[in-house]
Homo-oligomer: A and B are copies of this chain.
């Protein structure tokens, strides 16, 4: 299934940027970074449970927000895009 993961973190701090890099690194194991802090991951249920636990350990739950959206298996017609495609690599330094 396609799980969309959105991560809201203050990237004005180096700690925030580091957390975003760590989250990105985990997410791109299973999919694509479609925006700076939005990831589309193809996961089965076991992988989803595991990834959630890993990400929960990375983020600071007192200041960060992490959301998961289950788009199911028939997701190709459910996604639309306008504008540029960033194609950000997980290891790239953050520009903003």
Q: Does A62 contact B (CB under 8 A)?
A: yes
Cα separation A36 to B62 with both chains bound (whole Å): 16
Chain A interface residue count, CB cutoff 8 Å, equals 40
Q: Does A83 contact B (CB under 8 A)?
A: yes
Question: How many identical chains are in the complex?
Answer: 2
Interface 0/1 of A59-93, CB less than 8 Å to B: 11111111111111000011111111110000000
Main secondary structure of the interface of A (DSSP, over half): mixed
Q: Does A29 contact B (CB under 8 A)?
A: no
CB-CB nearest in chain B for A13 = B96
Question: A67 near B84 (CB under 8 angstroms)?
Answer: no
Q: Does A44 contact B (CB under 8 A)?
A: no
